[in-house]
């Protein structure tokens, strides 16, 4: 893990005009600003600056082969950097702004940093459904590369305090605008000819996308192996992980564990949703994992239904529970 810089004090900015202007100023100077989205807090840098994007990787200790999402404030900005097929445009019109990232071919005139795309000829683009995020991007005037604002592989942040806990002294500022309402990262889709491929389940249920397109999404036919290059964020086998080990589909906690419950279960140290509401569970997931990780015990997790937002929750939990290198 890279160490905090003694000469860098992480500013906490308000989501007002002055805070937005200060955040945009930092981005234009090549600095890093964490900002809220509807999914999680992102760690933003100028997506067209190799130096700024390198600083994101350094702050997070993120593998440089793992591509970033370029966040935009409007569709016009996105189309200046990437090609939209009819299918991609249909999805953008239906679900942007929102928790959907679309992987698109780069335009030849694109000035996105190669580190943003990890050298690929595609880029994941998203328009966040959060006024503060879009105001910051618009004030900056270009796409902002922004993975989640946490040390690489660790639990994603849904509050400004979470950001400070992991990255204080490593980034220039965080815009504090409360909790993130969705609580899990965006759904990511790509294309293979006329097929729409699910690359990562997330905050937009795939059923919504399938209804929009009147077709089923395809699922990747490969499993990530050691040495493979991800084509979208969140595809590494071990990811979103607490320090503690995680055991899934548990009906009780063992003596060395604490239980993360779902639904009306007994003896849960934390419960994602007493009423088995998947939207509430998604919003609570990362915050509750952080609380339980602070107990220094292993974490057992109740079964989560694998439909709707449950797919995204289970994806994050499976990666949190995966063996670590």
324 burial (CB, 10 Å; 0-12 / 13-18 / 19+) is exposed
Q: How confident is the model at residue 224 (pLDDT cuts 50, 70, 90)?
A: very low
Mean pLDDT value of segment 220-242: 54
**Cα→Cα distances 298→131, 141, 249, 253, 301, Å:** 38, 45, 14, 9, 10
**How many whole angstroms separate alpha carbon 59 and alpha carbon 70?**
18
Q: Which residue has the higher pLDDT, 221 or 70?
A: 70
pLDDT tens profile 163-192: 999 999 999 999 999 999 999 999 999 999
In a domain, 234, yes or no: no
Domain of residue 141, residue span: 11-175
Mean pLDDT value of segment 85-93: 97
- Whether 237 shows a pLDDT value over 70: the answer reads no
Element at 138 (helix H, strand E): helix 131-140
Q: What is the CATH number of the domain that holds 111?
A: 3.90.870.10
**Statement to judge: residues 169 and 256 lie in one domain:** no
**Cα→Cα distances 146→33, 51, 252, 294, Å:** 9, 14, 37, 26
In a domain, 81, yes or no: yes
CA-angle at 151, arms to 132 and 3, nearest 5°: 110
Whole-model pTM? 0.82
- Would you give the DSSP letter of residue 140? H
**Statement to judge: residues 170 and 255 lie in one domain:** no
Q: Which of 175, 202, 228 is the last residue of a domain?
A: 175
**Statement to judge: residues 130 and 271 lie in one domain:** no
pLDDT at 222: 44
In a domain, 240, yes or no: no
- Whether 212 shows a pLDDT value over 80: the answer reads yes
Total of domains in the chain: 2
Mean pLDDT value of segment 259-278: 96
Mean pLDDT for all residues in the chain: 90
Strand ranges of the sheet holding 187-192, from the earlier edge strand across to the other edge: 11-13, 173-175, 33-35, 42-46, 144-145, 69-71, 122-126, 100-105, 187-192, 195-200
Do residues 71 and 99 touch, judged by C-beta distance below 8 A?
Answer: no
Highest mean pLDDT out of 63-72, 113-122, 170-179: 170-179
**How many whole angstroms separate alpha carbon 17 and alpha carbon 83?**
33
Q: How many of the other CB atoms lie within 10 Å of CB of 264?
A: 10
Mean pLDDT value of segment 268-272: 97
Mean pLDDT value of segment 57-73: 83
pLDDT at 82: 97
Q: How many of the other CB atoms lie within 10 Å of CB of 306?
A: 11
**Statement to judge: residues 143 and 277 lie in one domain:** no
**Statement to judge: residues 29 and 137 lie in one domain:** yes
Mean pLDDT value of segment 62-83: 89
Q: Which of 145, 175, 205 is the last residue of a domain?
A: 175
**How many whole angstroms separate alpha carbon 12 and alpha carbon 173?**
6
In a domain, 310, yes or no: yes
- Antiparallel, parallel or unpaired: β 42-46 and 144-145: antiparallel
pLDDT at 229: 52
Classify 155 as helix, strand or coil.
Answer: coil
**Cα→Cα distances 55→44, 61, 116, Å:** 10, 10, 11
Q: Which of 149, 175, 201 is the last residue of a domain?
A: 175
**How many whole angstroms separate alpha carbon 137 and alpha carbon 27?**
9
pLDDT at 62: 67
**How many whole angstroms separate alpha carbon 193 and alpha carbon 53?**
30
**How many whole angstroms separate alpha carbon 29 and alpha carbon 31?**
6
**How many whole angstroms separate alpha carbon 171 and alpha carbon 158?**
17
**Statement to judge: residues 137 and 257 lie in one domain:** no
**Cα→Cα distances 142→13, 42, 58, 259, 314, Å:** 20, 16, 22, 44, 34
């Amino acid at each position: 893990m890279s160490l905090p810089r003694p000469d860098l004090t992480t500013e906490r900015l308000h989501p007002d005009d002055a805070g937005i202007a200060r955040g945009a100023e930092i981005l234009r100077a090549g600095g890093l600003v964490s900002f809220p989205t509807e999914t999680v807090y992102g760690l933003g840098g100028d997506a067209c600056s190799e130096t700024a994007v390198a600083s994101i990787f350094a702050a997070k200790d993120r593998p440089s082969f793992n591509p970033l999402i370029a966040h935009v404030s409007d569709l016009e900005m996105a189309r200046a950097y990437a090609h939209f097929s009819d299918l991609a445009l249909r999805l953008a019109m239906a679900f942007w702004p929102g928790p959907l990232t679309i992987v698109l071919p780069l335009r030849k005139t694109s000035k996105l940093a190669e580190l943003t795309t990890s050298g690929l000829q595609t880029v994941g683009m998203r328009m966040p459904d959060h006024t503060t995020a879009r105001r910051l991007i618009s004030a900056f005037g270009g796409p902002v590369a922004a993975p989640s604002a946490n040390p690489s592989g660790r639990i994603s942040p849904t509050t400004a305090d979470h950001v400070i806990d992991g990255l204080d002294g490593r980034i220039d500022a965080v815009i504090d605008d409360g909790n993130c309402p969705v609580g899990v990262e965006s759904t990511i889709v790509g294309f293979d000819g006329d097929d729409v491929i699910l690359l990562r389940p997330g905050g937009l249920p795939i059923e919504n996308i399938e209804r929009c397109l009147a077709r089923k999404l395809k699922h990747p036919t490969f499993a990530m192996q050691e040495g493979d290059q991800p084509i979208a964020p969140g595809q590494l086998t071990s990811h979103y992980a607490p320090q503690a080990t995680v055991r899934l589909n548990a009906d009780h906690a063992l003596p060395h564990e604490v239980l993360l419950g779902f639904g009306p279960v007994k003896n849960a140290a934390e419960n994602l949703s007493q009423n088995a509401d998947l939207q509430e569970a998604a919003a609570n997931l990362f915050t509750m994992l952080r609380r339980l990780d602070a107990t220094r015990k292993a974490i057992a997790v109740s079964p989560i239904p694998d439909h709707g937002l449950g797919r995204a929750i289970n994806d994050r939990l499976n990666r949190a529970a995966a063996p670590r290198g």
